[in-house]
Structure 1
């Protein structure tokens, strides 16, 4: 039975060997031959916009934790930039287990009460797994949309690799999906029954409808010229990159004509794949991912 996205539980921390080469039961190894390493390091993941963090905050318990304990409202982009390197370190680092435990421990004191008095903890399996699941789903959708169509076997492999990834955090995997069928059922249940328009999610995606504020270092005349195309592109990428059901919950405007343009855009990006792969890895990968491939002797 998979973990229900409305389940509440206390924090559940587990121990492991800490061996980076260890693979938990039902998992597949992470490394230079894994699809997770291939896709998660790809810069085209960014073309899906803030899908993962917005979906994370739509789970009530996670959104409440962000609202109560984070600088999300004051430093949205700064928080996002700080969050990514430890996640990459968990997947690509020479000590992925150690980094994963560090990420977990960042969240130990993130707990409190929901508006109705129900307690929440960032380390209960339901909440922690949802955050992880959004990264996994984001990766699969971005790869399928902007890199190459994924087969069902590809997706199954990614889910099996994600079991190994999640194990590195040292949070209980009790009841979490063990295969693609279970993951899809879990994901659909969350979209249809569990996610809400939490104000942290609405704030995080608000730039798509409000437009980006002018950076202090950009002169007003320059911003007047560049803001319109920037905001138009940002809205297109951000809203287009969200699941249809999430758009409905967040009341984001999206028309059939926009969807057709989005699909044309996706096809155009996929068509440039041979050119993209000619870009030097150092320029198209995050430094943590690049160093991992170099460490494994896969960059020639």
Structure 2
């Protein structure tokens, strides 16, 4: 059976790549400026996490009516995220910026999935890649902008990576994201592990640019952590592995207006 997007998107372990995706996004200058001017990481990190996860889970597992509803929320939230003043200009509806956001989510999810479950076979990998276009098209990115196949995506990724710049604004977002001063105790307690995994999944240049500490000892610890995850996580019961998706979908549906 071909591996589908809905077969992997409810795996809680993919959340380990979430902060990596955000840091990749803000390292793209236009996206980073938009996030810096409109981000609420510091004010309400839990709400930001809840909204992002709800959006992704509804896109994959929701009904057409639910997808329409959640994308309407996101479109309204993105409406004020634009500026023609200063450099770089940014606009949350710019299709190339939407492409980069979707690309970081795809690459981060597959990076974590491959590290824990092993790389999917060629046919599965290509099928998953094509299905991930929905993350961008739901943001109004034209479908034809998504690179045609994984080889085209790899070229796009290399070219885009060469344009990344980590400035002080991006580093401030990193600090707000990985060293939150507010939020519930459980969130702050989880941050040392999230910082460690995020640094491990980033490449060395970006890790250094964001000021995330790393050394041979941490590298060895990271490799041991991945070996442990490969051994333990796939053997956890489904109810534990899929709890976040079930929780956020249930919460979203319970808040849906009655018809």
Superposition TM-score tier, normalisation by shorter sequence: 0.7 to 0.9
Which stretch has the larger CA shift, 76-85 or 56-65? 76-85
User: What residue in structure 2 maps to residue 69 of structure 1?
Assistant: 38
1:267 to 227, 239, 251: 227
User: What residue in structure 2 maps to residue 3 of structure 1?
Assistant: none
User: What residue in structure 1 maps to residue 8 of structure 2?
Assistant: 39
1:203 CA drift (Å): 2.9
Q: Tell me, what secondary structure is at the counterpart of 1:178?
A: coil
- Distance in 2 separating the partners of 1:230 and 1:48: 14
CA contact (8 A) 2:2 2:124 kept: no
| Structure 2 unaligned blocks of 5 or more | 251-259
Q: Tell me, what secondary structure is at the counterpart of 1:272?
A: helix
CA contact (8 A) 2:42 2:182 kept: no
- The normalised TM-score by structure 2 is 0.80
1:131 to 90, 101, 121: 101
User: What residue in structure 2 maps to residue 58 of structure 1?
Assistant: 27
**Aligned residue runs from structure 1 range 242-257, under 5 A:** 242-257=202-217
1:242 CA drift (Å): 1.9
| Structure 1 unaligned blocks of 5 or more | 1-31, 292-300
1:179 to 139, 149, 159: 149
- Distance in 1 separating the partners of 2:71 and 2:47: 20
Which stretch has the larger CA shift, 278-287 or 169-178? 278-287
1:63 CA drift (Å): 1.3
1:111 CA drift (Å): 0.8
* Alpha-carbon spacing, 1:49–1:237, altered in 2? closer, same or farther (3 Å): farther
CA contact (8 A) 1:66 1:200 kept: no
Structure ranking higher in helix proportion: 2
1:79 aligns with 2:39: no
1:102 CA drift (Å): 4.0
CA contact (8 A) 1:93 1:288 kept: no
1:287 aligns with 2:250: no
- Distance in 2 separating the partners of 1:283 and 1:181: 31
- Distance in 1 separating the partners of 2:31 and 2:210: 16
CA contact (8 A) 1:39 1:139 kept: no
Render the CA deviation track for 1:246-265: whole Å, top value 9, x for unaligned: 21332322223322221221
1:289 CA drift (Å): 7.6
Q: Tell me, what secondary structure is at the counterpart of 2:74?
A: helix
- The normalised TM-score by structure 1 is 0.70
**Aligned residue runs from structure 1 range 137-176, under 5 A:** 137-176=107-146
* Alpha-carbon spacing, 1:101–1:146, altered in 2? closer, same or farther (3 Å): same
| Number of equivalent positions | 247
**Aligned residue runs from structure 1 range 2-41, under 5 A:** 34-41=3-10
* Alpha-carbon spacing, 1:232–1:90, altered in 2? closer, same or farther (3 Å): closer
